[in-house]
């Protein structure tokens, strides 16, 4: 059994659209982060989307990107969920579908995770830019980002792209994790 990815020099990764066959590697990457933070893994409900990328993302026109090292080893993930504009003023917290959401958003950043052994190579930044570019290509305007409050480095990354914290909520994950809600206006 492999111990996981070996850190590589910056620039030795590529980003591409996920294929349905990537699900096991996507699960491995995201589960590594969950294990790192001691989060509960819930394959049946909260993480079910990762086991069916085609049905949850690709069939709905929502791009799911992966980053690979030059060795073709998948080391990071990110998805753009696209939906009708949420009710409310842009940046205002609203209840929608029984959850706290960010009003005016028409897309969201989902499942941005980088394998712990390959951080600090610019992969998270490149994936964030890829999601922003994908949103622009689709003429989307406001991206909501919900992120566990412990992910300080991720929040700094999102803010470097212009995202701003607009509120917080308790996630519907098995751990009831507190999250920051950030809004990134796509210009």
How far is it, in rounded angstroms, from Cα 43 to Cα 6?
26
As a whole number of angstroms, the distance between CA 184 and CA 47 comes to 24
Find the helix or strand (DSSP H, E) in which 104 lies.
Answer: none
Q: DSSP per residue over 16-73, as a string?
A: EE--GGGHHHHHHHHHHHHHHHTPPP-TTTTTGGGG-HHHHTGGGT--EEEEEETTS-
Q: According to the model, what pLDDT value does residue 11 have? A: 53
130, containing H or E segment: helix 123-137
pTM: 0.91
Alpha-carbon distances of 114 from 89, 97, 134, 146, 161, rounded to whole Å = 32, 29, 19, 16, 18
Region at 156 (left for phi over 0; alpha for psi -120 to 50; beta for the rest)? alpha
Q: How far from the centroid of its chain's Cα atoms is residue 155's Cα?
A: 12
Which structural domains are found in the chain, ordered by start? Answer: 13-185 (3.40.630.30)
Given its phi and psi angles, is residue 121 left (phi above 0), alpha (psi -120 to 50 degrees) or beta?
Answer: alpha
pLDDT tens, per residue, the chain with 187 residues: 334 444 444 458 999 999 999 999 999 999 999 999 999 999 999 999 999 999 999 999 999 999 999 888 999 999 999 999 999 999 999 999 999 999 999 999 999 999 999 999 999 999 999 999 999 999 999 999 999 999 999 999 999 999 999 999 999 999 999 999 999 999 8
């Amino acid at each position: 059994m492999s111990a996981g990815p070996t850190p590589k020099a910056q620039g030795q990764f590529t980003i591409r659209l996920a294929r349905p066959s990537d699900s096991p590697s996507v699960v491995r990457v995201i589960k590594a982060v969950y294990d790192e933070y001691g989060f509960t893994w819930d394959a049946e409900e909260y993480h079910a989307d990762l086991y069916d990328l085609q049905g949850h993302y690709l069939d709905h026109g929502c791009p799911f990107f992966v980053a690979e090292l030059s060795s073709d080893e998948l080391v990071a993930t990110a998805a753009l969920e696209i939906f009708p504009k949420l009710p409310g003023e842009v940046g205002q917290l609203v209840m929608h579908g029984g959850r706290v959401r960010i009003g005016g958003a028409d897309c969201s950043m989902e499942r941005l995770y980088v394998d712990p052994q390959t951080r600090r190579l610019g992969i998270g930044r490149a994936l964030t830019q890829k999601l922003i570019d994908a949103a622009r290509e689709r003429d989307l305007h406001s991206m909501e980002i919900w992120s566990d409050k412990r992910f300080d480095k991720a929040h700094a990354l999102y803010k470097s792209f212009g995202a701003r914290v607009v509120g917080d909520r308790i996630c519907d994950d098995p751990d009831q994790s507190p999250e920051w809600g950030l809004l990134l206006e796509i210009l």
